[in-house]
Amino acid sequence: MLDQIVDGLNEIAERPAFAEAQAKAAMMEWILTLPAGADAQEAARAAIGRCEGVDCPSVALTQFVEYLHDIADTPALYPVRRGGARARRQVH
């Protein structure tokens, strides 16, 4: 699927506004096609490696790679347990 996205983005005409919209649509498609439970950061790093091998990338592909870097460089957020009802009942 990633190969199809990369090839499609690289064939888009060089109109910046259109390219950005296509890059966003491609990002959503890429995210939604990740396997359940996949680590998005690892997948983004792998996708970046695939995209960097393209000669003369288009504006859309360059924007897509920027979005991938955003995902790869953003630390994952996990919920923090605050104690629940037990913490609220404690006397301070």
- pLDDT tens sequence across 13-51: 666 778 888 899 999 999 999 999 899 999 999 999 988
The overall average pLDDT reported for the chain is 84
How far apart are the C-alpha atoms of 36 and 51, rounded to whole Å? 23
Is-above-0.85 flag for pTM? no
- Mean pLDDT within 63-75: 92
Q: Is the dihedral of CA 67, 73, 78, 82 positive or negative?
A: negative
**Does residue 65 register a pLDDT over 90?**
yes
pLDDT of residue 58: 85
* 85 DSSP assignment: H
Q: What is the pLDDT of residue 30?
A: 93
